[in-house]
A and B are shown apart, each in its own frame.
Chain A
Amino acid sequence: MQVTRNHNRLDVVIERNFNLSAIRELEQHIEDSTDYLIINLKHSFFLDSEAIIFMHRWQQQGKKLKLINPPEVFYEILEVLDLTDSWNLEQIIDQQQER
């Protein structure tokens, strides 16, 4: 996991799938002052329900989230879990041409 800190913002590039193991590692880098999380998923084949739960609760705390290049399956997961309408995807997603 590549991590870059910029004041209260944390930029991470997850180099595997975004799951329980990645969350455990990510949590070690989050400080109380961190209120903006940018997660680059260009290396991830998928993210799982633990990742969804983590991001959902992050946003519920009023903190900012940006997802760069989430895998296709991310949108399908949101549909299955009936969360598409409750996530502000226009604000969250940054689809770069890197995948």
Chain B
Amino acid sequence: MEAQITVLAKPEVIDSVSSFSYRWCINSGLSRKEATGFALALDELITNIILFAYPDEKGTFEVTFRNSMFNVEVILTETGEPFDPELHKYDSSKAVREGDFEGAGLELVRHFTDTFLFLNRGKQGKEFRISKTIDEPHIKELKPDLQTEPKDATSVEQNYKTDIFKPSDAEAISKLIYRTYDYSYTKEDMYFPKKVERGIAQKKKIGVITRDEKGEAVGYFAIIKKEDSNIAEVGEAVVSPAHRRRGVMTRMMERLIKIAKNQGMLGLFGTAIASHPISQKVNHKFGFVSTALMLAKSDPLRMKSLQENTPQPTSIVLDFLPLRPFRRPKLYLPAPYRELLRKIYSTLNVEIETGEGENDFLDNESEIDVKINYNDHFALILIESYGHDFEEVFHNLSESLKNKKLNAVYVDLPLDQSGTPHFLDVIRGEGYLFSGITPLFHKERDYLRMQKIYADMDFDLIEVFSELAKEIKTLVSREYHAGNT
């Protein structure tokens, strides 16, 4: 969820904005103590902006509040006088001796938040981002006696009951995840019943739970609605080992697709891990088409059963399933990837009309958003439109995201903008390589996804299933190795 306000650079506004932040944090799941600290951090940043970016107290700045099931984030965007927080270090002895408190506010910002980032947007000003992880009790804290189920467990043949899940099923779902996967399930929030409950109650997750004849939860499958487009991720699936190969997963997937269609969704997508092909095979069976390979999308998997981590950050194959016909505007496919992009659309069974790239309809300012996933250590630069400032703004943003402990930065370029083929060269020049297509991903528009990887990748450890995914992998690998030689 997101809320945005434009604020006058005057001291009188500080309290109102930080009070809103406090309520936003509480409603997102932070404790009162954490919400107070976060509101204080925001107060410090706004004070800094008023005192140093707009010393004459004339001007406005933007405050964007975001929350997810994992964290709360606030973004401050301003175009005032230049300021780099890295250059203002707090020195307590100078403060005590000389009353020089330079950097004190920023010291508090760092203390009361989990991440504090500064992004330079060039002519579009600066961004300060703070975030705080929502901390809830883990299922093992709530149920210390809970045991994992052996992988070779079996149960007697029986009838299963599959229903749409409710918030009250949250604890049963977390227990099922733990019993099945121990600590190795990639979506960590699933171990926290409160987070699961909030996700269901806020309708961010929709899906089904399957119970056996004793009423024990043995299967769970959810789709997670995308906030900025009418599609959803087939994001979370589990079947208890004792109940596998009984059609439980198939039954749940069929039900989910039906639910998504009934809700008028345009498509479903899955992010299948590429260290093994199992999830990709399941997606393929239900008609999903591989459209992108995203390298290093999350940290190495923690495989407790193997007593070690997977040896490199986890890459994923993006699989997409169109649910109903959707007419696209004219698309501009960049020449280097045209053939493969056409093939992806053709496999998706989507008819497209294409145009030649031009860039003579530029806006004054580019519209670019940055989304940072603090949990999985990646960022997404989302280009909505190109302006005359594009090269400078993109370069500054890309540079700002370096050394931010990210495994990867992805860029989504709108395929319905005639500037995309032209500006692709700029993006490749910054070291980005092909990833694929993200169909209908933002505001029901199609995007070309590019990626910049900050980790060493061994492509022999990336296993893809479909023929199309293999072609995508070949191209990604070629560009990766060309850039690393």
Chains A and B belong together in one complex: yes
Q: Is the CB of B11 within 8 A of A83?
A: no
The number of residues on chain A lying at the interface, defined by a beta carbon within 8 Å of a beta carbon of chain B, is: 26
- Find chain A residues with CB under 8 A from B37 CB: 46, 73, 76
Chain A interface mostly helix, strand, loop or mixed? helix
Q: Is the CB of A81 within 8 A of B90?
A: yes
Q: Is the CB of B96 within 8 A of A21?
A: no
Within 8 A of A (CB), among B12-57: 12, 14-15, 18, 22, 33, 36-37, 39-40, 43-44, 47, 50-51
Best-surrounded residue of B14, B50, B51 (most CB of chain A within 10 A): B14
Of the residues A24, A56, A60, contact of B11 by C-beta under 8 Å: A24
Of the residues A19, A45, A53, contact of B14 by C-beta under 8 Å: A19
- Find chain B residues with CB under 8 A from A50 CB: 47, 105
Does A13 count as interface, using CB distance less than 8 angstroms? no
Within 8 A of B (CB), among A39-59: 45-46, 48-50, 52-53, 56-57
Chain B interface mostly helix, strand, loop or mixed? helix
Q: Is the CB of B107 within 8 A of A46?
A: no
Q: 0/1 per residue, B75-108, Cβ < 8 Å to A?
A: 0000000000000001010011001010011011
B372 shortest CB reach to chain A, Å: 25
Known: A19-B14, A24-B11, A83-B92. A52 touches B40 (CB 8 A): no
Of the residues A20, A60, A81, A86, contact of B107 by C-beta under 8 Å: A81
Q: Is the CB of B36 within 8 A of A46?
A: yes
Bound-state CA distance A86–B99 (Å) is 12
Does B388 count as interface, using CB distance less than 8 angstroms? no
- Find chain B residues with CB under 8 A from A83 CB: 92, 95-96
The number of residues on chain B lying at the interface, defined by a beta carbon within 8 Å of a beta carbon of chain A, is: 27
Number of interchain pairs (Cβ within 8 Å): 81
Of the residues A16, A21, A56, A73, contact of B101 by C-beta under 8 Å: A56
Of the residues B12, B43, B51, B111, contact of A80 by C-beta under 8 Å: B111
Within 8 A of B (CB), among A1-51: 16-17, 19-21, 24, 45-46, 48-50
Q: Is the CB of A48 within 8 A of B105?
A: yes
Q: Is the CB of B36 within 8 A of A45?
A: yes
Within 8 A of A (CB), among B94-137: 95-96, 99, 101, 104-105, 107-108, 111
Q: Is the CB of B40 within 8 A of A46?
A: yes
Q: Is the CB of A49 within 8 A of B99?
A: no
- Find chain A residues with CB under 8 A from B95 CB: 56, 81-83
Q: Which 6 pairs of residues, A with B, have the shortest CB-CB distance?
A: A82-B92, A21-B11, A49-B105, A49-B104, A46-B40, A20-B11
Which residues of A come within 8 Å of B, CB atoms?
16-17, 19-21, 24, 45-46, 48-50, 52-53, 56-57, 60, 71-73, 76-77, 80-83, 86
Which residues of B come within 8 Å of A, CB atoms?
11-12, 14-15, 18, 22, 33, 36-37, 39-40, 43-44, 47, 50-51, 90, 92, 95-96, 99, 101, 104-105, 107-108, 111
Can you list 8 A-B contacts with CB-CB less than 8 angstroms, sorted by A residue number?
A: A19-B14, A19-B47, A21-B15, A24-B11, A52-B101, A53-B99, A81-B104, A83-B96
